[in-house]
Chain A
Protein backbone atom coordinates (compact mmCIF):
# COMPACT_ATOMS: atom_id res chain seq x y z
CA UNK A 1 0.00 0.00 0.00
CA UNK A 2 1.24 3.38 -0.95
CA UNK A 3 -0.30 4.88 2.15
CA UNK A 4 1.83 2.70 4.39
CA UNK A 5 4.92 4.07 2.71
CA UNK A 6 4.13 7.50 4.04
CA UNK A 7 2.34 6.89 7.29
CA UNK A 8 4.22 8.20 10.30
CA UNK A 9 7.07 9.02 8.03
CA UNK A 10 8.37 12.28 6.59
CA UNK A 11 8.56 13.79 10.02
CA UNK A 12 11.41 15.94 11.11
CA UNK A 13 12.63 15.47 14.65
CA UNK A 14 11.61 18.26 17.01
CA UNK A 15 15.18 19.53 17.18
CA UNK A 16 15.46 19.72 13.42
CA UNK A 17 12.10 21.47 13.21
CA UNK A 18 13.15 23.99 15.83
CA UNK A 19 16.55 24.59 14.23
CA UNK A 20 15.23 25.19 10.72
CA UNK A 21 12.27 27.26 11.90
CA UNK A 22 14.56 29.47 13.96
CA UNK A 23 17.01 29.90 11.05
CA UNK A 24 14.29 30.71 8.55
CA UNK A 25 12.13 33.03 10.65
CA UNK A 26 15.14 34.94 11.96
CA UNK A 27 16.36 35.24 8.36
CA UNK A 28 13.06 36.85 7.34
CA UNK A 29 13.04 39.15 10.38
CA UNK A 30 16.66 40.12 9.77
CA UNK A 31 15.88 40.93 6.14
CA UNK A 32 13.10 43.30 7.20
CA UNK A 33 15.22 44.83 9.97
CA UNK A 34 18.11 45.36 7.54
CA UNK A 35 15.83 47.11 5.04
CA UNK A 36 14.37 49.45 7.62
CA UNK A 37 17.68 50.14 9.34
CA UNK A 38 19.66 50.92 6.21
CA UNK A 39 16.83 52.95 4.72
CA UNK A 40 17.51 55.34 7.60
CA UNK A 41 21.27 54.96 8.12
CA UNK A 42 24.04 54.90 5.58
CA UNK A 43 26.63 52.31 6.64
CA UNK A 44 29.49 54.58 5.58
CA UNK A 45 28.26 57.43 7.78
CA UNK A 46 27.74 54.97 10.64
CA UNK A 47 31.26 53.63 10.23
CA UNK A 48 32.60 57.17 10.42
CA UNK A 49 30.80 57.74 13.73
CA UNK A 50 32.35 54.70 15.39
CA UNK A 51 35.83 55.09 14.06
CA UNK A 52 37.00 57.83 11.73
CA UNK A 53 39.81 55.57 10.51
CA UNK A 54 37.40 52.79 9.60
CA UNK A 55 36.98 52.39 5.87
CA UNK A 56 34.12 50.16 4.88
CA UNK A 57 32.30 49.71 1.62
CA UNK A 58 28.53 49.75 1.33
CA UNK A 59 28.52 46.04 0.48
CA UNK A 60 30.45 45.11 3.60
CA UNK A 61 28.32 47.41 5.74
CA UNK A 62 25.06 45.92 4.53
CA UNK A 63 26.38 42.38 4.93
CA UNK A 64 27.66 43.03 8.44
CA UNK A 65 24.35 44.63 9.39
CA UNK A 66 22.36 41.76 7.95
CA UNK A 67 24.37 39.10 9.75
CA UNK A 68 24.23 41.07 12.98
CA UNK A 69 20.42 41.17 12.77
CA UNK A 70 20.26 37.51 11.75
CA UNK A 71 22.29 36.38 14.75
CA UNK A 72 20.34 38.66 17.09
CA UNK A 73 16.98 37.42 15.79
CA UNK A 74 18.17 33.81 15.89
CA UNK A 75 19.16 34.15 19.53
CA UNK A 76 15.83 35.73 20.38
CA UNK A 77 13.92 33.12 18.41
CA UNK A 78 15.78 30.11 19.80
CA UNK A 79 15.50 31.23 23.42
CA UNK A 80 11.76 31.68 22.91
CA UNK A 81 11.48 28.24 21.31
CA UNK A 82 13.52 26.74 24.14
CA UNK A 83 11.40 28.33 26.88
CA UNK A 84 8.14 27.33 25.24
CA UNK A 85 9.28 23.75 24.80
CA UNK A 86 10.71 23.31 28.27
CA UNK A 87 7.94 25.07 30.17
CA UNK A 88 6.30 22.95 32.89
CA UNK A 89 3.03 21.51 31.68
CA UNK A 90 -0.10 22.83 33.34
CA UNK A 91 -1.50 19.38 33.97
CA UNK A 92 1.61 18.19 35.74
CA UNK A 93 1.51 21.22 37.99
CA UNK A 94 -2.10 20.61 38.92
CA UNK A 95 -1.32 17.06 39.87
CA UNK A 96 1.50 18.15 42.16
CA UNK A 97 -0.72 20.51 44.12
Chain B
Protein backbone atom coordinates (compact mmCIF):
# COMPACT_ATOMS: atom_id res chain seq x y z
CA UNK B 1 0.00 0.00 0.00
CA UNK B 2 2.79 2.40 0.90
CA UNK B 3 5.98 2.53 -1.07
CA UNK B 4 9.09 2.36 1.01
CA UNK B 5 11.14 5.53 1.31
CA UNK B 6 13.14 6.18 -1.80
CA UNK B 7 16.58 7.55 -1.14
CA UNK B 8 17.19 11.14 -2.12
CA UNK B 9 20.49 11.93 -3.78
CA UNK B 10 20.83 15.69 -3.47
CA UNK B 11 22.94 17.08 -6.28
CA UNK B 12 25.81 19.35 -5.30
CA UNK B 13 25.52 22.94 -6.44
CA UNK B 14 27.82 25.89 -5.89
CA UNK B 15 26.59 29.44 -5.48
CA UNK B 16 25.89 32.28 -3.09
CA UNK B 17 23.63 30.41 -0.73
CA UNK B 18 25.71 27.26 -0.86
CA UNK B 19 28.66 29.35 0.37
CA UNK B 20 26.51 30.82 3.13
CA UNK B 21 25.28 27.43 4.21
CA UNK B 22 28.82 25.97 4.22
CA UNK B 23 29.94 28.94 6.31
CA UNK B 24 27.10 28.38 8.79
CA UNK B 25 27.92 24.65 8.96
CA UNK B 26 31.59 25.27 9.64
CA UNK B 27 30.91 27.99 12.19
CA UNK B 28 28.25 26.04 14.12
CA UNK B 29 30.03 22.68 14.08
CA UNK B 30 33.29 24.47 14.91
CA UNK B 31 31.65 26.04 17.95
CA UNK B 32 30.18 22.72 19.05
CA UNK B 33 33.48 20.83 18.86
CA UNK B 34 35.61 23.67 20.22
CA UNK B 35 33.59 25.07 23.14
CA UNK B 36 34.25 22.25 25.64
CA UNK B 37 38.00 22.87 25.26
CA UNK B 38 37.72 26.56 26.08
CA UNK B 39 39.12 27.52 29.47
CA UNK B 40 37.97 30.28 31.82
CA UNK B 41 39.92 31.01 34.98
CA UNK B 42 41.72 27.69 34.57
CA UNK B 43 38.55 25.66 34.52
CA UNK B 44 36.33 24.53 31.67
CA UNK B 45 34.37 27.57 30.46
CA UNK B 46 31.18 25.67 29.73
CA UNK B 47 30.54 22.65 31.90
CA UNK B 48 27.29 21.18 33.10
CA UNK B 49 28.68 19.40 36.11
CA UNK B 50 25.82 17.05 36.86
CA UNK B 51 27.39 15.13 39.77
CA UNK B 52 28.19 18.40 41.57
CA UNK B 53 24.86 19.88 40.41
CA UNK B 54 26.48 23.07 39.18
CA UNK B 55 26.54 24.68 35.75
CA UNK B 56 29.57 26.71 34.77
CA UNK B 57 28.88 29.28 32.07
CA UNK B 58 31.98 31.38 31.45
CA UNK B 59 32.36 33.42 34.67
CA UNK B 60 28.98 32.41 35.99
CA UNK B 61 28.16 29.46 38.24
CA UNK B 62 24.53 28.39 38.15
CA UNK B 63 22.86 26.22 40.78
CA UNK B 64 19.72 24.10 40.61
CA UNK B 65 17.98 27.01 42.36
CA UNK B 66 18.71 29.12 39.30
CA UNK B 67 16.54 26.90 37.14
CA UNK B 68 13.98 29.69 36.48
CA UNK B 69 16.70 31.56 34.54
CA UNK B 70 17.15 28.56 32.27
CA UNK B 71 13.40 28.26 31.77
CA UNK B 72 13.24 31.96 30.89
CA UNK B 73 16.15 31.53 28.49
CA UNK B 74 14.35 28.66 26.73
CA UNK B 75 11.19 30.77 26.39
CA UNK B 76 13.26 33.60 24.91
CA UNK B 77 14.84 31.14 22.46
CA UNK B 78 11.40 29.90 21.37
CA UNK B 79 10.08 33.43 20.96
CA UNK B 80 13.13 34.47 18.92
CA UNK B 81 12.43 31.51 16.66
CA UNK B 82 8.87 32.80 16.16
CA UNK B 83 10.16 36.31 15.52
CA UNK B 84 12.68 35.25 12.89
CA UNK B 85 10.21 32.85 11.30
CA UNK B 86 7.64 35.60 10.85
CA UNK B 87 10.33 37.90 9.49
CA UNK B 88 12.37 35.66 7.24
CA UNK B 89 10.72 32.25 7.09
CA UNK B 90 12.58 29.07 7.86
CA UNK B 91 16.08 30.49 8.25
CA UNK B 92 16.53 28.18 11.22
CA UNK B 93 15.73 25.04 9.19
CA UNK B 94 17.93 25.93 6.25
CA UNK B 95 21.02 27.16 8.02
CA UNK B 96 21.11 26.61 11.76
CA UNK B 97 19.20 23.46 12.74
CA UNK B 98 21.55 20.71 13.99
CA UNK B 99 19.71 18.25 11.76
CA UNK B 100 20.58 20.33 8.68
CA UNK B 101 24.09 21.14 9.81
CA UNK B 102 25.11 17.56 10.58
CA UNK B 103 23.38 16.26 7.46
CA UNK B 104 25.46 18.75 5.44
CA UNK B 105 28.62 17.39 7.02
CA UNK B 106 27.60 13.78 6.37
CA UNK B 107 26.68 14.49 2.75
CA UNK B 108 30.05 16.15 2.32
CA UNK B 109 31.75 12.95 3.55
CA UNK B 110 29.52 10.96 1.22
CA UNK B 111 30.61 13.06 -1.74
CA UNK B 112 34.21 12.70 -0.71
CA UNK B 113 34.08 8.90 -0.78
CA UNK B 114 31.32 8.05 -3.25
CA UNK B 115 31.49 10.98 -5.66
CA UNK B 116 28.85 13.14 -7.27
CA UNK B 117 25.11 12.58 -7.36
CA UNK B 118 25.11 10.50 -10.55
CA UNK B 119 28.13 8.51 -9.38
CA UNK B 120 26.36 7.76 -6.10
CA UNK B 121 23.18 6.65 -7.86
CA UNK B 122 25.16 4.38 -10.16
CA UNK B 123 27.16 2.99 -7.27
CA UNK B 124 24.04 2.06 -5.33
CA UNK B 125 22.54 0.28 -8.37
CA UNK B 126 25.77 -1.56 -9.20
CA UNK B 127 26.36 -5.09 -7.90
CA UNK B 128 28.80 -5.50 -5.02
CA UNK B 129 32.40 -5.35 -6.07
CA UNK B 130 35.70 -4.65 -4.42
CA UNK B 131 35.60 -1.02 -5.57
CA UNK B 132 32.05 -0.54 -4.26
CA UNK B 133 32.97 -2.15 -0.97
CA UNK B 134 36.03 0.08 -0.67
CA UNK B 135 33.97 3.23 -1.25
CA UNK B 136 31.18 2.22 1.09
CA UNK B 137 33.66 1.14 3.76
CA UNK B 138 35.57 4.41 3.63
CA UNK B 139 32.30 6.33 3.88
CA UNK B 140 31.27 4.28 6.91
CA UNK B 141 34.70 4.77 8.45
CA UNK B 142 34.41 8.56 8.12
CA UNK B 143 30.81 8.61 9.33
CA UNK B 144 31.46 6.40 12.35
CA UNK B 145 34.64 8.20 13.37
CA UNK B 146 32.89 11.55 13.08
CA UNK B 147 29.88 10.26 15.05
CA UNK B 148 32.07 8.91 17.83
CA UNK B 149 33.91 12.21 18.03
CA UNK B 150 30.55 13.97 18.19
CA UNK B 151 29.41 11.70 21.04
CA UNK B 152 32.69 12.29 22.86
CA UNK B 153 32.32 16.06 22.48
CA UNK B 154 28.73 15.90 23.73
CA UNK B 155 29.89 14.09 26.86
CA UNK B 156 32.58 16.76 27.19
CA UNK B 157 29.89 19.29 28.06
CA UNK B 158 28.99 17.21 31.12
CA UNK B 159 32.33 15.72 32.17
CA UNK B 160 35.59 17.69 32.21
CA UNK B 161 36.69 17.12 28.64
CA UNK B 162 40.46 17.08 29.22
CA UNK B 163 40.24 14.32 31.82
CA UNK B 164 37.73 12.53 29.61
CA UNK B 165 40.16 12.65 26.68
CA UNK B 166 42.93 11.17 28.80
CA UNK B 167 40.55 8.49 30.11
CA UNK B 168 39.52 7.50 26.61
CA UNK B 169 43.12 7.26 25.44
CA UNK B 170 43.85 5.07 28.45
CA UNK B 171 40.70 3.02 27.70
CA UNK B 172 39.54 3.78 31.19
CA UNK B 173 36.05 5.15 30.78
CA UNK B 174 33.05 4.83 33.06
CA UNK B 175 29.96 2.83 32.12
CA UNK B 176 27.49 5.70 31.93
CA UNK B 177 29.93 7.97 30.15
CA UNK B 178 30.51 5.32 27.51
CA UNK B 179 26.79 4.68 27.20
CA UNK B 180 25.82 8.33 26.64
CA UNK B 181 28.75 8.88 24.28
CA UNK B 182 27.67 5.93 22.14
CA UNK B 183 24.02 6.96 22.43
CA UNK B 184 24.66 10.46 21.12
CA UNK B 185 27.12 9.21 18.53
CA UNK B 186 24.62 6.68 17.24
CA UNK B 187 21.83 9.28 17.15
CA UNK B 188 24.07 11.54 15.05
CA UNK B 189 24.97 8.67 12.72
CA UNK B 190 21.35 7.63 12.22
CA UNK B 191 19.89 11.12 11.90
CA UNK B 192 22.51 12.70 9.67
CA UNK B 193 23.52 9.59 7.73
CA UNK B 194 20.20 7.91 7.04
CA UNK B 195 17.07 9.70 8.28
CA UNK B 196 17.99 13.17 7.02
CA UNK B 197 15.00 14.96 5.50
CA UNK B 198 12.62 12.34 6.92
CA UNK B 199 13.25 13.84 10.36
CA UNK B 200 12.02 17.23 9.10
CA UNK B 201 9.07 15.71 7.29
CA UNK B 202 7.77 13.31 9.87
CA UNK B 203 9.31 14.03 13.25
CA UNK B 204 9.80 17.76 13.56
CA UNK B 205 7.02 19.69 15.32
CA UNK B 206 8.42 23.04 14.18
CA UNK B 207 8.15 22.06 10.51
CA UNK B 208 4.44 21.46 11.01
CA UNK B 209 3.50 24.59 12.90
CA UNK B 210 5.90 27.15 11.45
CA UNK B 211 3.32 28.09 8.82
CA UNK B 212 1.22 29.60 11.63
CA UNK B 213 3.89 32.32 11.94
CA UNK B 214 3.81 33.01 8.20
CA UNK B 215 1.92 35.80 6.54
CA UNK B 216 2.04 37.43 3.13
CA UNK B 217 5.01 39.59 4.18
CA UNK B 218 7.19 36.72 5.33
CA UNK B 219 10.33 36.06 3.35
CA UNK B 220 9.91 32.79 1.45
CA UNK B 221 11.72 30.99 -1.31
CA UNK B 222 9.46 30.89 -4.30
CA UNK B 223 9.31 30.22 -7.98
CA UNK B 224 8.03 33.17 -10.00
CA UNK B 225 5.22 31.44 -11.84
CA UNK B 226 4.19 34.50 -13.83
CA UNK B 227 7.67 34.76 -15.24
CA UNK B 228 8.45 31.08 -15.63
CA UNK B 229 5.32 29.64 -17.23
CA UNK B 230 4.69 28.13 -19.66
CA UNK B 231 7.84 26.16 -19.01
CA UNK B 232 9.59 24.09 -21.61
CA UNK B 233 12.88 23.22 -23.30
CA UNK B 234 14.29 25.44 -25.96
CA UNK B 235 17.52 26.19 -27.76
CA UNK B 236 19.53 29.11 -26.45
CA UNK B 237 19.21 30.85 -29.79
CA UNK B 238 15.39 30.78 -29.75
CA UNK B 239 13.56 33.97 -28.76
CA UNK B 240 11.41 32.20 -26.20
CA UNK B 241 9.02 35.09 -25.70
CA UNK B 242 8.15 35.05 -29.36
CA UNK B 243 7.75 31.28 -29.14
CA UNK B 244 5.26 31.75 -26.28
CA UNK B 245 7.48 30.26 -23.58
CA UNK B 246 8.25 31.51 -20.06
CA UNK B 247 11.72 31.69 -18.54
CA UNK B 248 11.67 28.18 -17.00
CA UNK B 249 13.50 25.77 -19.28
CA UNK B 250 12.27 22.80 -17.22
CA UNK B 251 15.83 21.54 -16.64
CA UNK B 252 14.84 19.93 -13.29
CA UNK B 253 18.02 21.16 -11.65
CA UNK B 254 16.04 22.79 -8.81
CA UNK B 255 14.48 19.41 -8.08
CA UNK B 256 17.77 17.52 -8.22
CA UNK B 257 19.52 19.78 -5.72
CA UNK B 258 16.63 19.74 -3.23
CA UNK B 259 17.61 17.85 -0.07
CA UNK B 260 13.97 17.08 0.67
CA UNK B 261 13.17 16.03 -2.90
CA UNK B 262 10.39 18.53 -3.65
CA UNK B 263 9.68 20.65 -6.70
CA UNK B 264 9.73 24.31 -5.63
CA UNK B 265 7.69 25.16 -8.72
CA UNK B 266 4.66 23.50 -7.15
CA UNK B 267 4.44 26.33 -4.63
CA UNK B 268 5.18 26.71 -0.92
CA UNK B 269 5.36 23.28 0.69
CA UNK B 270 5.89 22.36 4.31
CA UNK B 271 8.70 19.99 3.29
CA UNK B 272 10.76 22.97 2.11
CA UNK B 273 13.47 23.73 4.67
CA UNK B 274 14.45 26.97 2.90
CA UNK B 275 18.05 25.90 2.27
CA UNK B 276 18.05 27.99 -0.93
CA UNK B 277 19.87 25.32 -2.97
CA UNK B 278 17.22 25.72 -5.69
CA UNK B 279 17.99 29.44 -5.92
CA UNK B 280 21.64 28.68 -6.60
CA UNK B 281 20.66 26.01 -9.11
CA UNK B 282 18.23 28.20 -11.01
CA UNK B 283 20.54 31.22 -10.97
CA UNK B 284 23.29 29.14 -12.59
CA UNK B 285 20.92 28.15 -15.40
CA UNK B 286 19.60 31.71 -15.84
CA UNK B 287 23.23 32.85 -16.20
CA UNK B 288 23.85 30.21 -18.88
CA UNK B 289 20.71 31.20 -20.75
CA UNK B 290 21.49 34.90 -20.39
CA UNK B 291 18.18 35.47 -18.62
CA UNK B 292 18.00 37.66 -15.53
CA UNK B 293 18.54 35.83 -12.25
CA UNK B 294 15.80 35.29 -9.68
CA UNK B 295 13.26 33.02 -11.34
CA UNK B 296 13.49 31.16 -8.04
CA UNK B 297 14.30 33.68 -5.30
CA UNK B 298 13.77 34.97 -1.80
CA UNK B 299 10.57 36.97 -1.98
CA UNK B 300 7.25 37.48 -0.24
CA UNK B 301 3.73 36.62 -1.33
CA UNK B 302 2.90 40.32 -1.46
CA UNK B 303 5.89 41.00 -3.64
CA UNK B 304 4.91 38.16 -5.99
CA UNK B 305 1.48 39.77 -6.30
CA UNK B 306 3.25 43.08 -7.09
CA UNK B 307 2.10 44.58 -3.79
CA UNK B 308 4.22 46.31 -1.14
CA UNK B 309 5.93 44.18 1.48
CA UNK B 310 5.72 45.47 5.05
CA UNK B 311 8.53 44.51 7.39
CA UNK B 312 6.95 46.28 10.36
CA UNK B 313 3.51 44.87 11.02
CA UNK B 314 1.41 44.10 14.13
CA UNK B 315 2.68 40.51 14.39
CA UNK B 316 6.30 41.64 14.36
CA UNK B 317 5.62 44.34 16.94
CA UNK B 318 3.95 41.87 19.27
CA UNK B 319 6.82 39.36 19.01
CA UNK B 320 9.42 42.11 19.38
CA UNK B 321 7.74 43.67 22.43
CA UNK B 322 7.39 40.31 24.16
CA UNK B 323 11.03 39.53 23.39
CA UNK B 324 12.23 42.86 24.75
CA UNK B 325 10.23 42.45 27.96
CA UNK B 326 11.54 38.91 28.54
CA UNK B 327 15.17 39.75 27.73
CA UNK B 328 14.94 42.82 29.95
CA UNK B 329 13.46 40.69 32.72
CA UNK B 330 16.22 38.09 32.41
CA UNK B 331 19.00 40.68 32.44
CA UNK B 332 17.50 42.48 35.47
CA UNK B 333 16.98 39.21 37.31
CA UNK B 334 20.53 38.04 36.59
CA UNK B 335 21.99 41.39 37.63
CA UNK B 336 20.12 41.49 40.92
CA UNK B 337 20.79 37.85 41.72
CA UNK B 338 22.12 37.48 45.28
CA UNK B 339 25.05 35.11 45.39
CA UNK B 340 23.75 33.46 48.56
CA UNK B 341 20.77 31.28 49.34
CA UNK B 342 19.25 30.67 52.76
CA UNK B 343 16.89 27.78 53.42
CA UNK B 344 15.26 27.28 56.80
CA UNK B 345 13.94 23.86 57.77
CA UNK B 346 12.04 23.53 61.04
CA UNK B 347 12.77 20.45 63.08
CA UNK B 348 9.98 18.01 62.34
CA UNK B 349 10.32 15.91 65.46
CA UNK B 350 9.10 18.32 68.08
CA UNK B 351 6.92 21.38 68.02
CA UNK B 352 8.72 23.07 70.90
CA UNK B 353 10.63 22.34 74.06
CA UNK B 354 9.96 23.98 77.38
CA UNK B 355 13.01 25.02 79.36
CA UNK B 356 13.41 26.21 82.92
CA UNK B 357 13.12 29.95 83.57
CA UNK B 358 9.92 30.18 81.48
CA UNK B 359 11.79 29.76 78.19
CA UNK B 360 10.58 27.96 75.02
CA UNK B 361 12.96 26.54 72.43
CA UNK B 362 12.48 25.66 68.71
CA UNK B 363 15.07 23.91 66.59
CA UNK B 364 15.87 24.67 62.96
CA UNK B 365 18.39 23.64 60.37
CA UNK B 366 19.71 26.53 58.28
CA UNK B 367 21.12 25.72 54.88
CA UNK B 368 23.43 28.42 53.60
CA UNK B 369 24.55 28.12 49.99
CA UNK B 370 27.42 30.37 48.98
CA UNK B 371 27.03 30.72 45.21
CA UNK B 372 30.09 32.89 44.72
CA UNK B 373 33.43 31.30 43.93
CA UNK B 374 35.15 32.75 47.01
CA UNK B 375 34.82 31.78 50.67
CA UNK B 376 32.65 34.12 52.70
CA UNK B 377 31.66 34.80 56.29
CA UNK B 378 28.11 35.66 57.26
CA UNK B 379 26.43 37.09 60.32
CA UNK B 380 23.11 35.58 61.32
CA UNK B 381 20.08 37.32 62.73
CA UNK B 382 16.55 36.39 63.69
CA UNK B 383 13.64 38.74 64.32
CA UNK B 384 9.87 38.84 64.64
CA UNK B 385 9.40 38.18 68.35
CA UNK B 386 10.39 40.04 71.44
CA UNK B 387 13.52 38.71 73.06
CA UNK B 388 14.46 36.04 70.52
CA UNK B 389 17.74 34.36 71.34
CA UNK B 390 19.94 32.63 68.83
CA UNK B 391 21.86 29.77 70.36
CA UNK B 392 24.48 27.47 68.94
CA UNK B 393 26.50 29.96 66.90
CA UNK B 394 29.42 32.03 67.96
CA UNK B 395 29.48 35.18 65.89
CA UNK B 396 30.16 34.56 62.22
CA UNK B 397 29.68 31.45 60.13
CA UNK B 398 32.10 30.55 57.41
CA UNK B 399 31.06 28.99 54.07
CA UNK B 400 33.52 27.87 51.38
CA UNK B 401 33.27 29.23 47.84
CA UNK B 402 30.57 27.24 46.06
CA UNK B 403 29.89 25.41 49.33
CA UNK B 404 26.77 24.44 51.26
CA UNK B 405 26.63 24.71 55.04
CA UNK B 406 24.02 22.91 57.11
CA UNK B 407 23.72 24.63 60.46
CA UNK B 408 21.51 23.43 63.33
CA UNK B 409 20.38 26.35 65.45
CA UNK B 410 18.27 26.67 68.58
CA UNK B 411 16.03 29.68 69.00
CA UNK B 412 14.71 30.62 72.42
CA UNK B 413 12.03 33.04 73.51
CA UNK B 414 10.16 33.84 76.71
CA UNK B 415 7.07 31.68 77.06
CA UNK B 416 4.81 34.74 77.53
CA UNK B 417 6.03 36.33 74.29
CA UNK B 418 5.70 33.22 72.16
CA UNK B 419 2.34 31.60 72.60
CA UNK B 420 0.85 29.78 69.63
CA UNK B 421 2.27 30.11 66.13
CA UNK B 422 4.47 33.13 65.43
CA UNK B 423 6.04 34.31 62.17
CA UNK B 424 9.76 34.89 62.50
CA UNK B 425 12.39 36.01 60.03
CA UNK B 426 15.92 34.66 59.62
CA UNK B 427 18.51 36.80 57.91
CA UNK B 428 22.13 36.50 56.86
CA UNK B 429 24.50 39.16 55.73
CA UNK B 430 27.96 38.78 54.26
CA UNK B 431 30.62 40.38 56.43
CA UNK B 432 32.59 41.62 53.42
CA UNK B 433 29.67 43.03 51.44
CA UNK B 434 26.58 44.46 53.12
CA UNK B 435 24.58 44.19 49.88
CA UNK B 436 24.79 40.39 50.02
CA UNK B 437 21.80 39.73 52.25
CA UNK B 438 19.11 37.10 52.23
CA UNK B 439 16.04 36.64 54.37
CA UNK B 440 13.80 33.64 54.87
CA UNK B 441 10.72 33.33 57.03
CA UNK B 442 9.73 30.45 59.29
CA UNK B 443 7.53 29.82 62.30
CA UNK B 444 8.19 29.77 66.01
CA UNK B 445 5.77 27.65 67.96
CA UNK B 446 5.07 28.00 71.65
CA UNK B 447 2.53 26.50 74.07
CA UNK B 448 -1.02 27.83 73.79
CA UNK B 449 -2.09 29.34 77.10
Partner of A10, one of B8, B64, B177: B8
Q: Do B198 and A36 touch across chains, with their CB atoms under 8 A apart?
A: no
Which of B234-242, B255-263, B432-440 lies at the binding interface?
B255-263
Given A2-B252, A9-B3, A36-B67: A21 and B203 within 8 A (CB)?
yes
Q: 6 closest pairs, A vs B, by CB? A: A9-B6, A39-B67, A58-B51, A59-B176, A2-B252, A24-B203
Residues of A16-45 at the interface with B, using a CB-CB cut-off of 8 Å, are 17, 20-21, 24-25, 35-36, 38-40, 42
Collect the chain A residues with CB atoms within 8 Å of residue B176's CB: 57, 59-60, 63
Collect the chain A residues with CB atoms within 8 Å of residue B128's CB: none
Closest CB in chain B relative to A9 CB, distance in Å: 3
Q: Do A6 and B70 touch across chains, with their CB atoms under 8 A apart?
A: no
User: What total of A-B pairs shows CB separation below 8 Å?
Assistant: 71
- Residues on B lying within 8 angstroms of A by beta carbon are 2-8, 50-51, 53, 64, 67, 70, 174, 176-177, 179-180, 195, 197-199, 202-203, 205, 252, 255-256, 261, 263
Q: Cβ of A5 < 8 Å from any Cβ of B?
A: yes
Collect the chain A residues with CB atoms within 8 Å of residue B202's CB: 12, 17, 20-21
* Interface size in chain A (residues, C-beta < 8 A): 29
Q: Which residue of B lies closest to A23 (CB)?
A: B203
Q: Cβ of A88 < 8 Å from any Cβ of B?
A: no
Q: Which residue of A lies closest to B177 (CB)?
A: A59
Q: Cβ of A97 < 8 Å from any Cβ of B?
A: no
Q: Do A6 and B5 touch across chains, with their CB atoms under 8 A apart?
A: no
Most chain A beta carbons < 10 A, residue from B7, B197, B198: B198
Q: Do B51 and A5 touch across chains, with their CB atoms under 8 A apart?
A: no
Q: Which residue of B lies closest to A22 (CB)?
A: B203
State in angstroms the CA–CA spacing of A77 and B252 once bound together: 40
Residues of A49-64 at the interface with B, using a CB-CB cut-off of 8 Å, are 57-60, 62-63
Q: Do A10 and B6 touch across chains, with their CB atoms under 8 A apart?
A: yes
Closest CB in chain A relative to B124 CB, distance in Å: 13
Q: Which residue of B lies closest to A57 (CB)?
A: B51
Most chain B beta carbons < 10 A, residue from A3, A10, A59: A10
Given A6-B255, A57-B51, A58-B50: A40 and B64 within 8 A (CB)?
yes
Partner of A9, one of B5, B179, B263: B5
Q: Do B6 and A25 touch across chains, with their CB atoms under 8 A apart?
A: no
Q: Cβ of A86 < 8 Å from any Cβ of B?
A: no
Q: Which residue of B lies closest to A25 (CB)?
A: B205
Given A1-B252, A3-B263, A20-B203: A13 and B67 within 8 A (CB)?
no
Given A20-B203, A21-B203, A24-B203: A62 and B5 within 8 A (CB)?
no
Partner of B261, one of A6, A21, A38, A63: A6
State in angstroms the CA–CA spacing of A14 and B180 once bound together: 30
Q: Which residue of B lies closest to A62 (CB)?
A: B50
Q: Do B5 and A59 touch across chains, with their CB atoms under 8 A apart?
A: no
